[in-house]
Amino acid sequence: MALKLLGFNQDATCFSVISSNKGVTIYNCDPFGKCFELEKSTSNDEELDFLVEMLFSTSLIAVVDKTIGASKRKKLKIVNTKRKATICELTFPHEIMDVIMNRKIICVVLKSDQIFVYDISCMKLLRTIDVRGEKLKSTSKFRNSEAVGDIGVRVSLSTDNNSILCYSSYSKSDKENAPLNDIVVFDALKCIQINVLPAVHQSNIVCIACSPDGMLMATASEKGTIIRVFKTIDTENDEPILVNEFRRGSRPSRISEMKFNHDNTLLACVGESDTIHIFALPVTTTEADANEDDTLQQSSHSLSSSINGLQYISKGLANRFGKIIVSKIPTQSQQRHVAYIKIPENAKYRIGFPKDTTNTIHICGEDGNYLVYSIPRNEVGPCTLVKSNTFD
């Protein structure tokens, strides 16, 4: 029986999975067990495919049935899991590629590179964002294609009520090749653009993660060897700030998911490799200044020293952005992970950070394993398995 993971909800209290003979199942993490099943609507043996987005631990989920038929792939259903009833249904002009939401906003991403932003309380359309833009529409490269290769627009929405939306956009500086390597930061509540980060990678961005409070954003390109973390807004001079660069590894590997923990001190990533990497994020400038004297007295091998170290200006990035960007990254550029989890190379995994438990990460895999790990606090090393369950 084939399994396909859909992922965790916003606070890692539930996760969803597709099974070939059951349809969509949502599992509760603690205590572990099934909490909802959306049965398959057909008796045929075709491979099931759904998009499912949960809204924390509420009874509201967004569902797109992408199994068969072009019309179904354009239809979004808002389902009440307690009543097992569809409470809202929307049809779009193109295939739906992604759905993300928090308690205020729901965003629907289409294959045509459009983002529809709705007020979740009444499903009122607030804004339609045409990522491709009028200039790109007029060029021959985009006239007759709905999307560029298999790289579409990537989006991420903060889970808090600030509703900061980050999405990839076509390069304004490289109109000939037009890679999806610009990032737009958008206030989804006020429907205003608040920042643009140009050319954050050389190639297409394939993964974006917005921190729960919307203050940080992580990006990864097709190569997947370098992960960059930015402030979405610089409160001092309104310029984008590079917080850190992490080296995942030397071999290319497409990253499928990245997640911040709820206090923005850790970032985890998972992809095609056999390792889930967990990186430590630097403390804020205020905290770094307060702890500067203590930090300088610590051993050079200390994790705090690597996080709160000296800072420098990244000239290469400054040139790429076309202006000097004051970098907040430590002198140890491209830091490695502080913790890791080994997983089967042939099984896809998803990750989640619980809100109420520090130094803990949840993972679930298409091999039918749900696992909880403790993250080491004071030294680099493997995470410790503390809980395991299986699902089908």
Rg (C-alpha) for the chain, rounded Å, is 21
Residue 104 included in any domain: yes
pLDDT of residue 379: 86
The CATH number assigned to the domain holding 109 equals: 2.130.10.10
Which has the closest alpha carbon to 153: 124, 106, 191, 116?
116
Instruction: For residue 74, give the DSSP letter.
Output: G
Domain assignment present for residue 263? The answer is: yes
- Eight-class DSSP state of 151: B
In a domain, 223, yes or no: yes
293 found inside a domain: no
CA-based torsion, 133, 242, 216, 275: positive or negative? positive
Please work out, in degrees rounded to the nearest 5, the angle formed at the alpha carbon of residue 216 by the alpha carbons of 212 and 220: 105
Question: How deeply is 311 buried, as exposed, middle or buried, from its count of CB atoms within 10 A (0-12, 13-18, 19+)?
Answer: middle
Residues 6+ apart with CB under 8 A from 256: 207, 270, 271, 272, 348
- Adjacent-strand bridge partners of 306: none
Provide the residue range defining the domain that includes 199.
Answer: 92-133+152-271
For residue 24, what are the β-bridge partners? 18, 38
- pLDDT computed for residue 184 by the predictor: 96
Residue 330, domain member (yes or no): no
Does 370 reside within a domain? no
Residue 55 tokens, joined: 């809204």
Mean pLDDT by 10 residues, the chain (392 residues): 88 94 92 91 75 97 90 95 95 97 98 97 97 61 50 95 97 85 96 95 96 97 95 69 90 94 97 95 55 36 33 36 38 78 92 92 96 93 98 90
Structural domain tally of the chain?
1
Secondary structure percentages of the chain, helix, strand, coil, to 5: 10, 45, 45
Domain contains 238: yes
Is the four-CA dihedral 192, 168, 182, 197 of positive or negative sign? Answer: positive
376 assigned to some structural domain: no
